[in-house]
Amino acid sequence: MGDMPTVENGTVDVKMVQKEVIAIVSDVLGVDENTIQLNQSLVKDLSADSLDVTELIISIEEHFNVSVTISDKELAEIDTVQDLVNFVVLALKNK
């Protein structure tokens, strides 16, 4: 994977985060990253189950070197690839 996105003046390189999150989703779910769209549902479109979503969160935390406490309610609200991107951006801003 490429360079780490940096936070400068509170701004995160969202395009880089999107690219890295798609690569992680591809790796964890075994889906070709060229077919992954930001608006796709992890469960409905990419066939992830709750364990896959948890594994995605763990992989994202390790990759982006962030540690986030996430409630079951918040975890349930992560539906799309874009939701994962938003999760990372927020985690990086709060790092």
49 belongs to the catalytic site: yes
User: Of residues 13, 32, 45, 49, which has the active-site annotation?
Assistant: 49
Q: How far apart are CA 20 and CA 89, in angstroms?
A: 12
Q: How far apart are CA 9 and CA 51, in angstroms?
A: 35
Q: How far apart are CA 64 and CA 20, in angstroms?
A: 9
Q: Is 56 exposed, middle or buried (0-12, 13-18, 19+ CB in 10 A)?
A: buried
Catalytic residues: 49
